[in-house]
Structure 1
Amino acid sequence: MHVLRLLAVASIFAAPIALSAESITYTDTFTASGSIGAETFTDALVTISGTGNSSGIINEGGGIFALSLPVTFSIAGVASGTFTDDIQVFANQSSGIAGFGDNTNDFALIYTANPALSSYSLSTGIGPVTGPSLFNSVDATLGEAVYGTNDGNFALSSVSDSTFQASPVPEPSSLALFGTGALGILGVVRRKFGRA
């Protein structure tokens, strides 16, 4: 009985630990037209996503924050895969934008603009936040903005408003502790109601 009470108390303390995880999944979703490899797509739902450790966030000064991380894409009904270019999630507080940029070719991949992002620094969860999209489709000197993937070059020609979201990922050890505590609470409740 005392062990179950200790587990119940442990679960109460584990919940805040699980919510303050260092890993965060950043996602931008939007409807777009463009191409992936030799295939074109029109008005398809596109999701760009990556999970990174918030301890790697770089404060570039002036309210600009960046984090390099592996990034995946999904184009509904067309293709999904991984970017091979050096992609980073990016927040610029002075512009009120957050999203993904490509360090390999120095182009914006997709940013969401919203005043709610004017104090965001990538280190916490936020959203979903929807707003106008900022992206590069064509550069006057370099031509089309393309991004390397394992399925060929990815390019955007038109994009709807986008939705940016950052979701903390609970650490497995915290989840295990939380689950153990929850089982302990269940045992205490069963015993208490079983005696009545």
Structure 2
Amino acid sequence: MHHGSLHPALISLVRDRTRIAPALLALAALVAAAPSTTRAEVINITSFSLPGTVRTTIQDVNNAGQIVGDFRSAPGQFIQPFIHDLNTGGTTTFTIPDSTNIVAAGINDLGQVVGLFRSATDNTLVRGFLKDGSTISVIQVPGSPNTYPIRIRNDGLIVGRFDDPSGFRQGFFYDGSTFTPYAVPGALSTEIDAITSTGTFIGNYRDASGRSLGFIDDGTTFTTLAVPGAGGFTNAFDINESGLIVGSFVDSLNRTLGFTYLGGRYTTFGVSNPNGGLFDTYALGVNDFGKIVGFYFDENGRQHGFTAQFIPEPSSLALAGMGGLGMIGIAVRKRRSALKRSATA
């Protein structure tokens, strides 16, 4: 089965400087322990389900190892959001007034969460939200019946999609005060799923023939993403600071599988079925350490989350390691600046 787009360490490092060295050692270990292969790989695919649930979906992961997603505690129950720390194992949930189904879609390195919920008063309406600590704010594009925030950058910029009053779906950027729409020229629909600190953003669009395709836009060049042999369905769901993109596609066997895209090369993967073959797999999020998250459907059609690790090609490992070290330093400085601003506000 396949569906439309779902649309997808730094805090600890700042709080405790003694953890910077272990984080750098972990990155160095990734470079040193990479398997001997001429291709990029996705390894350590591990199933994840919250205890006592009948459905678990992981939507995003930040650099502190916090994941967000949604779960259903019993058949017919409303979908509820969760935040889970992969390091400590702690899980928290939250509610939103006047809501039924709630999905936590994105989390940044400051722990701010964005997502969407269906109104209990009028379940035909979908609203977005921002959770910042204990404060939850509703996000709605003016005049839109449906607003879907998907990711939030560390500086607070939110991206997603919305339906205008006529039903035309397009992407948006929201800086906390102004919504800026974005539509791929000639597309039947557009959504923005993630954006980097330098402004490169990725998303999906439906072309005039009805194909669902991914894209990457760096402000100068627009590139369509289509996994070779995917036919009419390739969705890009997240991008990290190294330019690693993750998403899903439908293959020639009509299976939905995950993919990575880096430096013009695709790698495909799926959660293994013990009875043979691969389960339908959706790769929704990736952090700057190459941790991939998403969900899959088992043989009974039940949803489970998963985590995995991306290993780049050996030729790019050294550069990835150097870039990662610089990224950590830049991100820590940005986080310190943010703390200073909040302390003086």
- Give TM-score, length-normalised by structure 1: 0.31
- Give TM-score, length-normalised by structure 2: 0.20
Q: Is the radius of gyration larger for structure 1 or structure 2? A: 1
